[in-house]
Chains A and B, each alone.
Chain A
Amino acid sequence: MVKKLLVLVGQAIPFWFLVFQSPIIRAQTPADFGKEWRFAQYLSDKDAFPEAVYVLEQLEPLIQTAAQKDSLLYLRGWLAYTTKELTVAHQKLLLVSVTSPFYARSRYFGAYCLAFAGNRDSARVVMETLPIPNSTFRELRALQLAGVALLQRRYEDFDQQRNAFSYTSYALVNEQKRFNKYDSTLRAEKHRSPFVAGLYSAILPGLGKVYAGKPKQGIAAFLPILSLGLLTYEGLRKDGPRSARFIGFGSLFTLFYVGNIWGSILSVKAKRNEFKREYDNKILFDMHIPVRSLLN
């Protein structure tokens, strides 16, 4: 009887061993959150970002404490920031709680990602509550807020934030000076009217584009319209107003003439957008550098 029992137990043990101790099964339920998190960070340090994200996704069901949740949110957000998934980055980073050791870093980078993603109002609200452990960070926060003020062209807010600049911190001084230059340039930007551009092009084809700040396009528009105008004139002079030559070239001339007026109106908007994009990129770049220098 005892022998039979031993045989049964002996036969059953390998089965249960396979079920519970199989390396594959054991590996799918890693027990140590901290170790897995460090492993994900190790992968991130080796630029294996998709692998690190995969490890973190597997880690989510294991969260037991608020600290673990913060660590996971921080690293997931950081990976998203590194791989330029800025929406995911700010969503994750800004959820890190104040008790986390990653809080300051998460807030600064999360706020920057918000600003970069175009959510300027939300970025300003987050930046107003950024942690300031010392005077350098006070200036860094002011710089971030000044950057958002410039991005939103809120010059009074910029003046207010500029008061906090001391121009003494090595990590901030260049960006602070450049922000002052951007402020001057943006304030001095001429607000060209699309209506005036259209009017100029109606008077002299291409002049509206020159007014909009695109002189080469203006010349390029003027020459074909001039040629078509001359061809129309020749058709009228030689063959009369009912001739196919006059009607054909006249129609083409009208089409190009009206099209050029419409193009001039659009070119004012295009030039304005180009200018805006150029300075927005410069401002965002200068907001980013000190955050990287002071918090990396």
Chain B
Amino acid sequence: MTTRFCLICTFLCVACSTNGQLLPVNQLYLADSLAGAGRFFEAGIAYERVLFNQPDSAAQLVAVAGKIGCLKQQSRFAAAVQYINSEVTNSYSDSTLLALSHDQITCAYLAGQFENSLSLLERLPYLHPDRPTETPVMSVVRILSLNELQRWPEAAEAYRKLLAHNQIDTLSTPYRQLPRLKSEQKAIALSTFIPGGGQFYAGKPGEAILSILVESAGLYFGITNFLAGYYLSAWGVGAATFGSFHSGGIRRAEVLVKQYNARQAQQFNAKVKSELLKQVGQ
């Protein structure tokens, strides 16, 4: 009992001798506790406090990792990319730098910075020539980023490599059937020469019929008025109605094709994503 009492007193003396300041290990403990309690904003500040006190490199690394984790938990992925950029210094070992880069690439993808995630991926072999840089997770990020940028042939190649690496049957690739995107130019040309043609092509028959009806009404009004001798009405109402709805129809057909293509790409990317996660998860 006496030993226990002395130990406690010694511990208290050490705690008091820090003059109210937390030791780095305690600060890390606090930050971890806050993160564990789901208070990620406050935990991020606590990790920054550890870094502010310039701890040893081990504690520094734990704090940096903790801060990145907090930013990710708050879905502040763009901030995490920027943070990792500012924290990556040569004081870390090569393996740590590689791990941080992997984190940064994942955050860049999650922040919707697809070009950035690909460019960061391309940099890795040059920055870490002695290490294998393309982990399965990084391959997944590469494929998903390429998909989002609609660079499907490159994505298919990366997908094939990933499956080969994981020794999975490469014949069941979703890239065997790429989405069939429609041509905006074709839609414009169709609507120019056949009223409503572009809308039909874009898969919107209702809009196509409406366009045909309105343009026909304008044309009919123009012709009948012209034949009745109302030349100004034929021109000012009939031709104007036909002309404005015709040019509007052309623009609308272009927009509809863009929307159709975006939908197709989104559906295909979602399908690849679920397939990919299934394959990697096996």
Task: Specify whether A and B are partners.
Answer: yes
Which residues in A have some Cβ–Cβ distance to B below 8 Å?
A: 3, 6-7, 9-10, 13-14, 17, 21, 23-24, 26-27, 30-32, 35, 38-39, 42-43, 46-48, 50-51, 54-55, 227-228, 230-231, 233-235, 238, 245
Contacts of B49 in A (CB 8 A): 39
What A residues does B233 contact at CB under 8 A?
231, 234-235, 245
Residues of B within 8 A of A46 (CB): 48, 83, 86
Question: How near does chain A come to B221, taking the closest CB pair, in angstroms?
Answer: 12
Q: Is the interface of A mostly helix, strand, loop or mixed?
A: helix
Question: Are B229 and A48 interface neighbours, CB within 8 A?
Answer: no
Name the contact of B52 in the complex, choosing from A3, A27, A42, A235 (C-beta under 8 A): A42
B20 touches A55 (CB 8 A): no
Residues in B with CB closer than 8 Å to A230 are: 232, 236
B45 adjacent to A55 (CB under 8 Å): yes
Bound-state Cα–Cα, A245 to B234, Å: 13
Q: Are B20 and A26 touching (Cβ within 8 A)?
A: yes
**Pairwise interchain contact B44-A51, C-beta atoms closer than 8 A:** yes
Docked CA distance A7–B4 (Å): 10
The one of B8, B29, B41, B229 in contact with A13, judged by C-beta atoms closer than 8 angstroms, is B8
The residue from B2, B229, B236 contacting A227, defined by CB atoms under 8 A apart: B236
In the complex the two chains form, is B48's CB within 8 Å of A48's CB? yes
B82: which A residues are within 8 A, CB to CB?
Answer: 47
Residues on B with C-beta less than 8 A from A13 are: 5, 8-9, 12
- Whether, in the assembled complex, B30 has its beta carbon less than 8 Å from a beta carbon of chain A, the answer is yes
Closest CB pairs A-B (n = 6): A31-B20, A234-B232, A23-B26, A23-B30, A227-B236, A13-B8
Closest partner residue, chain A, to B237 (CB atom): A231
A125 to chain B, nearest CB (A): 38
Whether B41 contacts A51 by the Cβ 8 Å rule is: yes
User: B213: CB under 8 A from chain A?
Assistant: no
Check A43 against B12 for contact (C-beta < 8 Å).
Answer: no
Q: How far is the CB of A212 from chain B (nearest CB, A)?
A: 27
Count residues of B near A (Cβ-Cβ below 8 Å): 38
Given contacts A17-B11, A32-B21, contact A238 B1 (CB under 8 A): no
Is the Cβ of B27 less than 8 Å from the Cβ of A23?
yes
Total A-B residue pairs with C-beta atoms closer than 8 Å?
A: 86
User: Given that A17-B11, A27-B27, A32-B20 are contacting pairs, would A10 and B232 also be in contact in the complex, using a CB cutoff of 8 Å?
Assistant: no
Known: A23-B30, A51-B44, A231-B233. A10 touches B20 (CB 8 A): no
Q: In the assembly, what is the distance between CA of A23 and CA of B11, in Å?
A: 14
> Across the interface, which residues of B come within 8 angstroms of A7, CB to CB?
1
Q: Are A10 and B8 in contact (CB under 8 A)?
A: yes
- What CA separation (Å) do A47 and B86 show in the bound complex? 11
Query: How far apart are the CA atoms of A23 and B15 in the complex, in Å?
Result: 10
| Cβ 8 A contact of A23, one of B29, B83, B232, B236 | B29
Contacts of A27 in B (CB 8 A): 22, 27, 30, 46
Interface centre among B27, B42, B230, B236 (most CB of A within 10 A): B236
Within 8 A of A (CB), among B220-240: 229-233, 236-237, 240
Q: Which of B5, B27, B45, B232 contacts A54 (CB 8 A)?
A: B45
- Residue contact B48 to A43, C-beta cutoff 8 Å: yes
Q: Collect the chain A residues with CB atoms within 8 Å of residue B12's CB.
A: 13, 17, 21
B33 within 8 A of A: yes
Q: With A17-B8, A17-B11, A227-B236 as given contacts, are A51 and B48 in contact (CB-CB < 8 Å)?
A: yes
A42 to B86, CA, bound (A): 13
Q: Which residues of A contact B93 (CB under 8 A)?
A: none
CB-CB nearest in chain B for A35: B21
**B19 in contact (CB, < 8 A):** yes
Q: What are 10 A-B residue pairs whose CB atoms fall within 8 Å in the complex?
A: A13-B9, A21-B12, A21-B15, A24-B34, A26-B20, A26-B26, A27-B46, A31-B20, A32-B21, A42-B52
Q: In whole Å, how far is B183's beta carbon from the nearest beta carbon of chain A?
A: 33
Closest chain B CB from A198 CB (angstroms): 26
Q: How far is the CB of B8 from chain A (nearest CB, A)?
A: 5
- Smallest beta-carbon distance A81→chain B, Å: 20
- Nearest-Cβ distance from residue A252 to partner chain B, whole angstroms: 10
Chain A minimum-CB-distance residue to B48: A43
Task: Provide the bound-state CA to CA distance between A42 and B47, in Å.
Answer: 13
Listed residue (B1, B5, B52) with the most chain A CB atoms within 10 angstroms of its CB = B52
**CA separation between A211 and B83, bound complex, in Å?**
54
Residues of B within 8 A of A48 (CB): 44, 48
What chain B residues lie within 8 Å of A51 (beta carbons)? 41, 44-45, 48
